[in-house]
Amino acid sequence: MDGRTSRTRKNTAVVVILACTVVLAAFACLLVGSSRMTVAECLSALLGRTGGTAARIIWNIRIPRLLAALIAGAGLSVSGLIMQTTLGNAMASPSTLGVSNAAVFGANLSIIAFSGGFLSTGNNLANYGVGVSPFATSLLAFLFAAASILLILGLCRLRSFSPNVVVLAGIAIGAMWTAATTVLQFYATDVGLSAAVIWSFGDLGRATYRTDWIMLAVVAAGTAFFLLLSWRYNALLSGGDTAGTLGVNVALLRFVSLLTASVMTAVCVSFLGVIGFVGIICPHTVKRLLGQDHRWSIPASALSGSLLLLLGGQLLPQLGNAGAQLLLGNENLCNILIHFFLFLPDFCQNAVLLSECNRWVLLPVGLSGSRRSLPK
């Protein structure tokens, strides 16, 4: 009982520290930018005591970006945690099911085919400007992401949602969307191709109050739904058979969880572009700090995702590191770096074990052509 109480106190302290850090980082994001503000000016603008330029900058520019970072970071991180649990794969993330790839294809189709590509005339920027609206681009990105989700889950129902089948189907369909995007970009004009590539990078500057409210509704509902099912996810950690004996419908749980997590990801990606690294690094960090209990890991993942996106998408670029903004959408580079540093200790440990095993298992063939036998 004492051990459980101390663990609860530790987890509570970690969650409270994360929440306080998020609040401080959010307030710091309001202070920095091309137009620097003092704490007094920022508080006056927030409380409505002063108007003018400072209030317009705070309420029209910085707060929409701030809310987008908080909401999208939480949604992507929680989605990654749930996908890793339901699939039993530590490398699972929202991009595993091809959600991001499908959203990129939908956005490219909207931008290139209907606004700036081969269906318009030439590379005239004015022709691109009269094309479809950004909301139409986001809508098409979401529709293709949702179609990809339903296609994968429909195929996996044939195999009772085996985790390996889900992962393989997601990788295959994600590769299909990537190939289709490449073909589409091949026929694009310079203007359309540039606009499509720019969209592919995650950008919090696209956020508005309307998009923030939509993302908030979806992410809040999905996170609350996952919290209600937290004990089922804890049972699933022991294996599908064990969870089944405890009364958990494993196939239904995986279907509903993957569908909800994918919808949360699709909404965030359709408005902000591809943000590929939050959904994989934050759940692993939280699990190292708090363990596998989803009653704590779900809210902690939401807070850590918000904090990471605040720092990487808001604070660091505004402090002068322009390259940090580009890292939001550079999914491959981020995943390589994150996987390297995250799994380096395990890799080193496995390398030591393999080096010991190689002395007995992987010995080379001798001059006589006979292989040495294993020790008994």
| pLDDT tens track for 277-314 | 788 889 999 999 998 899 999 999 999 999 999 988 77
Q: Which of 81, 85, 86, 74 is nearest to 280 (CA)?
A: 81
Beta bridge partners of 201: 274
229 belongs to a structural domain: yes
356 belongs to a structural domain: no
351 belongs to a structural domain: no
Sole residue written with tokens 């987890």: 11
Domain that holds residue 249: 2-343
- 236 or 90: whose pLDDT is higher? 236
Percent of the chain with pLDDT strictly greater than 70: 77
pLDDT at 346 over 50: no
User: Which CATH number goes with the domain that contains 149?
Assistant: 1.10.3470.10
| pLDDT tens track for 127-145 | 444 444 557 888 889 999 9
pLDDT score recorded for residue 155: 78
* Confidence class for position 122, pLDDT limits 50, 70, 90: very low
97 belongs to a structural domain: yes
20 belongs to a structural domain: yes
pLDDT at 262 over 50: yes
pLDDT score recorded for residue 37: 82
| pLDDT tens track for 86-117 | 988 888 887 778 888 999 999 899 888 876 44
pLDDT score recorded for residue 221: 97
31 belongs to a structural domain: yes
Count of domains forming the chain:
1
355 belongs to a structural domain: no
364 belongs to a structural domain: no
User: Average pLDDT, whole number, for the chain?
Assistant: 79
